Structure 1
Amino acid sequence: MANKKNNPLKIVLGTCRVSYVHIKEPAAFEDSDPKYSVTFLIPKDSPDVERIRAAIRSAYEANQEGLFKGKPLSSPKLWNPLRDGSEVLEEFPERKEYEGCYFVKAASKTQPKAFDTDKQEILDLDEVYSGCYCRGV
């Protein structure tokens, strides 16, 4: 069994701002299946950025020939989960919170749990909202 502490694909994000929080009820976009989701806004100078890039490289190396069919990691046909906030600002200039950030969207069909700084489960999920600062796993 793999040691969870050494799993290169598991990232615990430092504190960062969240946007588009849908953890109380799942949301569906453009006729997709409803999912719970949150977008993490990560400052470009955060040490989390390199750890996320390393996890992406690890996932790619483990699946290069199978899932990714030998395409290079730089291929525009491969979707990169770490996106530049500048892309959002080009289309939506009013979303100033994306300025100077990368972003990662986390989504799941199962409802995530939320915990406070004392590691107590947050039962009222209205306490976690777009604009607040959170950590993510």
Structure 2
Amino acid sequence: MSTKVITGKALLSYEHLLTPQAGIGGGEPKYSVSLVIPKNDKKTIEKIEKAVQEAIKEGVTRFGAKFGKGANFRTPLRDGDLDKPDDPSYKDSYFLNVNSKTKPGIVDRDLNPILDPTEIYSGCFGRASIVAFPYSVNGSTGVSFALHNVQKLEDGEPLGGKARPEDDFEAIDNDFDDILG
């Protein structure tokens, strides 16, 4: 069994896929995204849970029999209704924060590379290739997912209140005075 998962359709939130971002406490900048997965996507949730179990087995092999046990053991899949109750984007969903030190591949529906930063944003929908791995660092143990690739599936409402330029303006033919005046 592999720890690699190709998710179903997810809302992309806190998107930093083209430019790495340092975390709140600083540190090394990483490419990252929060994948918001509807609770009714049982297939994706099951694949994630199986990958986590495989990563736990790997953790036991690498870190010892106690790996995966204890109240402080962290797993990556979180409940949006419990952890983000005031954010409607996370309602009836689970979410998973994934990151990578190296730039992920980002493609559109036709597998064309996405390089334009206006094409991939928090609020669009996509799917991701992610890999579960165990960790044990400075007394903190758990399973996390590394981000490999993202495929944008469709546009959505931008999150964070910032509108796209094409939503704010219309094309201008010839006469500026009609618009400005």
Length-normalised TM-score, structure 1: 0.84
**Whole-angstrom CA distance in 1 between matches of 2:27 and 2:61:** 28
| Structure-to-structure mapping, 1:1-137, within 5 angstroms | 7-29=1-23, 30-46=25-41, 47-67=43-63, 69-71=64-66, 73=68, 75-90=70-85, 93=86, 95-137=87-129
CA distances 1:73-103 after superposition (whole Å, capped 9, x unpaired): 363222111111123325xx1x111111111
**Whole-angstrom CA distance in 1 between matches of 2:67 and 2:29:** 31
Length-normalised TM-score, structure 2: 0.65
SS of corresponding position for 1:27 = strand
In structure 1, list runs of 5 or more residues that go unmatched. Answer: 1-6
**Whole-angstrom CA distance in 1 between matches of 2:5 and 2:29:** 24
Two-structure CA RMSD over aligned residues (Å): 1.6
SS of corresponding position for 2:6 = coil
**Whole-angstrom CA distance in 2 between matches of 1:23 and 1:99:** 23
Worse-superposed segment, 49-58 or 72-81: 72-81
Alpha-carbon contact 1:36-1:111 (below 8 Å) kept: yes
Bigger Cα Rg = 2
Residue 63 of structure 1: how far off its partner (Å): 2.0
**Whole-angstrom CA distance in 2 between matches of 1:77 and 1:108:** 24
**Whole-angstrom CA distance in 2 between matches of 1:72 and 1:36:** 28
Residue 72 of structure 1: how far off its partner (Å): 6.0
SS of corresponding position for 1:76 = coil
Alpha-carbon contact 2:59-2:67 (below 8 Å) kept: no
Structure 1: which amino acid aligns with 2:117? L
More strand by share: 2
